[in-house]
Structure 1
Amino acid sequence: MSHLTPPQPPDTEAPSKAPPAQAGPGGDVGRRRSHPPLARGVTVGTTVLAAALLLGALALPNRLDLLTPPAFLRIPVEGIVLAAVLLVLPGRPRRVTAVLAGVMLGVLTLLKCLDMGFYSVLQRPFDLVLDWILVDDAADYVRESFGRTSEVLAIAGALLLVVAVPALTVLATVRLADRMARRRPPAGRTTLALAVAWVTCTIFGLQVGGAPVASTLGAQLVAERVRAVRAGLADARVFEAEAAVDAFARTPPDRLLTGLRGKDVLFTFVESYGRTAIEDPAMARQVGAVLTEGTASLKAAGFDARSGWLRSPVIGAGSWMCHATLLSGLWINNQQRYRHLVSGDRMTLNKYFRKTGAWRTVGVVPGVRRAWPEAGFFGLDRSYDSTHLGYRGPYFSWSPVPDQFTLEAFERLELGRRNRRPMMAEIVLASSHQPWAPLPRMIGWQDLGDGSVFGPIRRAGKDPAEVWKDTESVRTEYRVSVEYSLRSLIGFMGRYADANTVLVFLGDHQPRPEVVAGSPRRDVPITIVAHDPKVLDRVAGWGWTPGLKPAGDAPIWAMNQFRDRFLKAFGPRY
């Protein structure tokens, strides 16, 4: 009897072993088998969204006025090159390249957003070397104009963009890289077709919306930034050489400003008072009327005036750079130059007045709310900021103190003092600073008191958020603010100036692009007002226009040229 086990028939009921389901980029395989239409929809949808995000980021312009639907009907060459590179790379290098490309594209997108903001205010792109400090100034401006809550929301939104934009572009690039690797043949044919289309559009110069269909915007932007960074780094050396030249540095004190001895000389900057306020058809009649009436009223009081134009180093913002340009005789058009200037020993107009020993130098800067160490550099014996003018009234948006009160406080604190020396004063009028709402209005000089009288005027003023919904409203309120500043200054001269008062007043820069309506002009008016005819005789050769309003064809000087021309005109006559 055999003890061998007989063979058994195969067990047809035993389950067969299958490989475990694995997850892929499109989701779990099991789910895809259970819901194939849904899985395909998710896969296709995320891929299309990723492609649209990358295409949008590459085609996104860096100026708000170019942000139109046709701007996105472009074929960006950078996308074609990136797709070709990802197609030929193997697994890990492809993934690393996709991540790096996504980060770079995210940073480029953020840079475009910064450019949009800078073009909107300053009519120029963001400078990667020189402009970082202005980001902090922008936060201060939002807080002082719209409140602390708006500042917090703006900062939170900016931080969210800084994190979210690169994260999204990285995820989108990695997603497309993986899908292209899984479907190389169709991805390769699509990339080739796009390359042929790009070359064809380039050859025939095809355009849409006034711009080429074959786009190289990203590459151009990077190249421009590289050149700008190099120029910014080299500019420090250029500025150092410029600052070393001063034609009056060795002039003896007794030969400086001899034509103004015994006079009170008031250099007054009117915020955002630009050529647009005088020549734009929507403003010329009203502002011109103020200047014409002012010329007549001052003439009746024994004053005469001459007016011309200066070309400002900036537009839209950056008043401190304009002040520094006029007073130092150096072209200060970026923050790096300003910092180098105030950390050096360059002689300013203030310092030259003080050097003579014949003048006390004073600064009235109501826009300053914190420590201002630059007062020492500019050569001011005494400086009054917004907290030292005796003002107890409300803020008017960005401007802490209405111009009329600022000028009355200057009279009370300095100009009206008895038994004093002649004075050289630098005065900044800030009521015409954006956002131009709410605005103060003229009241009786005798009613100013401590400024509390402005409370009802402030409460009845316009909401800046409402004004800024409409460009024409912005332009109107800008005009009204300039009229107020000019009326304040003309009224001050009529009330407090005497035979020994000399006023030099000017705009610092043109207002924002919304107000100048696309004009590239950077000119600002400048006027000299004097009672003594000998003062204006000194500038007779300048060719300036009689009165407070410069003619359209009056001479235009670069603002940094004024210091030396002024010192020469009022120096010794041979």
Structure 2
Amino acid sequence: LARHRRPATRGTLIAAVAWLLCSALGLQVSGVPIAADRTASALAIQARRVQDTLRDEADFRKVARVDAFGDTPGSQLVPDLRGKDMIFTFIESYGRSAIEDPVMAPGVDRTLAARTEALAKSGFHAKSGWLTSATYGGSSWLGHSTTLSGLWIDNQQRYRTVMASDRMSLTEAFRRTGDWDTVGVMPGVQKAWPEQKFYGLDTVRNAFQLGYKGPKFSWSTMPDQYALEAFQRLEHGRKRDRPLMSEVILTSSHQPWAPIPKMVDWDEIGDGSVFEGIEKAGNRASDIITSEPRSRAEYGRSIQYSVTALTQWLQRYGTDDTVLVFLGDHQPIARVSGENASRDVPVSIVAKDPKVLEKVAGWGWSDGLRPAHDAPVWKMSAFRDRFLTAYGSTPHPRKG
């Protein structure tokens, strides 16, 4: 309407005349007046939403055009991570409630403590903090894009705007250096994914390109353990002339949290058929979603599974040059996290090289995989620039 004012004005006048005629003649459809007050109210509400959307889009475009690292040459991006295999991993619905809720926290906290200790024995150490997600209970792509773009993307319009822009994502920064191969492992993607370009990924492995022959686990197309083993077989374990930067999305902790996979021997994973018995013996989704207590308990178990699978993979395949950054994309739905829960999610950086963690020592993050209750809380959109700065990137602002 804003772009085509003349026909929009003409159409509005015609609609107004039609409205008055319908009102004067008392015309109805199935006993409901065409020119009813409720229709007028609904139209007014929708008109205000359109105005708000247009205003938000205009404001967001202005913000998105300003980028502290928009014109930074590749040679000046993340120089302190040269030679490292970088892995950015999102764990579905991994929220603060998993760590602090009295029902879920005991099991999850035991897992985080045990996995911190196990990683330390393998030479890996971690720092952890909190990020406030741009979304809650779903729409994971808003959390992913907010983290990696450095912009607050809390609605679909903003998401479409930034995906169509030349804004540099955090993963794209590694591609721009020319020193990394880049790959995405997306077991939740089952159709064309044009976002690949925005995220700077040379290769994307979707749900149909990971070789899985086992059963689905409710929404999740495959267990996290299988997705990680396939990542190792197809990409991470390949001989390369340069290091690898990977974006990995883990989906086993997606609602309804039934059935939940169990860990199997890594050498027995094969094509995933080994998970058939586990899936058949698991809970049915219909038995879980109708019970809040069971939903909360099973959600906690799913987070324990995902964290265990990821950290065991790191122990098994990580090297002195592996750096893992993993975080939640959003809190689980209110039935699990509570009506007044925050939007905070945990975030961790794990590495063997002590210099990697020394670079973020000033952040005030907690040691280990469990962020302390009073650890710093940043907006998720702040992570990109803080990360780029910590690892030596030189700002070259772009201002439109």
* TM-score (normalizing by structure 1): 0.62
Q: Residue 308 of structure 1 is aligned with which of 115, 129, 145?
A: 129
* Whole-Å separation in 2 of the counterparts to 1:485 and 1:383: 21
The letter for the 1-side match of 2:178 is G
Q: Residue 99 of structure 1 is aligned with which of 10, 32, 38?
A: 32
Q: SS where residue 510 of structure 1 aligns?
A: coil
Contact 2:143-2:330 within 8 A present in 1 as well = yes
* Whole-Å separation in 2 of the counterparts to 1:243 and 1:517: 33
Structure (1 or 2) with the larger CA radius of gyration: 1
Q: SS where residue 262 of structure 2 aligns?
A: coil
Q: SS where residue 395 of structure 1 aligns?
A: coil
* Whole-Å separation in 2 of the counterparts to 1:572 and 1:468: 46
The residue aligned with 1:347 is: 168
The residue aligned with 1:416 is: 237
Q: SS where residue 269 of structure 1 aligns?
A: strand
Matched, 1:525 2:349: no
The residue aligned with 1:402 is: 223
Matched, 1:452 2:385: no
Matches of residues 446-525 of structure 1 in structure 2 within 5 Å?
446-525=267-346
Distance 1:260 1:227, change over 3 A: same
User: Per-residue deviation at 1:419?
Assistant: 3.5
Matches of residues 26-425 of structure 1 in structure 2 within 5 Å?
93=24, 95-96=26-27, 99-100=32-33, 105=38, 227-425=48-246
User: Per-residue deviation at 1:272?
Assistant: 0.1
User: Per-residue deviation at 1:95?
Assistant: 3.5
* Whole-Å separation in 2 of the counterparts to 1:372 and 1:393: 23
* Whole-Å separation in 1 of the counterparts to 2:265 and 2:35: 62
The residue aligned with 1:430 is: 251
The residue aligned with 1:551 is: 372
The letter for the 2-side match of 1:529 is V
User: Per-residue deviation at 1:555?
Assistant: 0.6
Over residues 3-62 of structure 1, what are the superposed CA-to-partner deviations in whole Å (9 max), with x where a residue is unaligned? xxxxxxxxxxxxxxxxxxxxxxxxxxxxxxxxxxxxxxxxxxxxxxxxxxxxxxxxxxxx
Q: SS where residue 309 of structure 1 aligns?
A: strand
User: Per-residue deviation at 1:229?
Assistant: 3.4
Greater relative contact order (Cα < 8 A, sep 6+): 2
Distance 1:487 1:103, change over 3 A: farther
Among the aligned pairs, what percent are the same residue? 51
The letter for the 1-side match of 2:50 is V
User: Per-residue deviation at 1:103?
Assistant: 6.0
User: Per-residue deviation at 1:100?
Assistant: 3.2
RMSD: 2.1
* Whole-Å separation in 1 of the counterparts to 2:120 and 2:309: 17
Contact 2:97-2:341 within 8 A present in 1 as well = no
Deviates more, 1:411-420 or 1:501-510: 411-420
Distance 1:419 1:345, change over 3 A: closer
The letter for the 2-side match of 1:100 is P
Aligned pairs, number: 372
Distance 1:474 1:572, change over 3 A: closer
* Whole-Å separation in 1 of the counterparts to 2:295 and 2:208: 29
Contact 2:105-2:300 within 8 A present in 1 as well = no
User: Per-residue deviation at 1:458?
Assistant: 1.0
Distance 1:474 1:257, change over 3 A: same
Q: SS where residue 67 of structure 2 aligns?
A: coil
User: Per-residue deviation at 1:222?
Assistant: 8.3
Distance 1:355 1:101, change over 3 A: same
The letter for the 2-side match of 1:509 is H
Over residues 182-216 of structure 1, what are the superposed CA-to-partner deviations in whole Å (9 max), with x where a residue is unaligned? xxxxxxxxxxxxxxxxxxxxxxxxxxxxxxxxxxx
* Whole-Å separation in 2 of the counterparts to 1:253 and 1:361: 14
* Whole-Å separation in 1 of the counterparts to 2:292 and 2:340: 15
* Whole-Å separation in 2 of the counterparts to 1:434 and 1:469: 12
The residue aligned with 2:12 is: none
* Whole-Å separation in 1 of the counterparts to 2:110 and 2:370: 10
* Whole-Å separation in 2 of the counterparts to 1:227 and 1:306: 45
Q: SS where residue 87 of structure 2 aligns?
A: strand
* Whole-Å separation in 1 of the counterparts to 2:106 and 2:308: 15
User: Per-residue deviation at 1:351?
Assistant: 1.3
Q: Which runs of 5+ in 2 are unaligned?
A: 1-22, 395-400
* Whole-Å separation in 2 of the counterparts to 1:547 and 1:423: 25
Q: Residue 440 of structure 1 is aligned with which of 216, 237, 261?
A: 261
Q: Which runs of 5+ in 1 are unaligned?
A: 1-91, 109-218
User: Per-residue deviation at 1:401?
Assistant: 1.2
Contact 2:260-2:302 within 8 A present in 1 as well = yes
The letter for the 2-side match of 1:537 is E
Q: SS where residue 378 of structure 1 aligns?
A: coil
- Which one has a larger percent helix, Structure 1 or Structure 2? 1
User: Per-residue deviation at 1:99?
Assistant: 3.4
Over residues 295-348 of structure 1, what are the superposed CA-to-partner deviations in whole Å (9 max), with x where a residue is unaligned? 100111111100000000010101111111111111111111111111111111
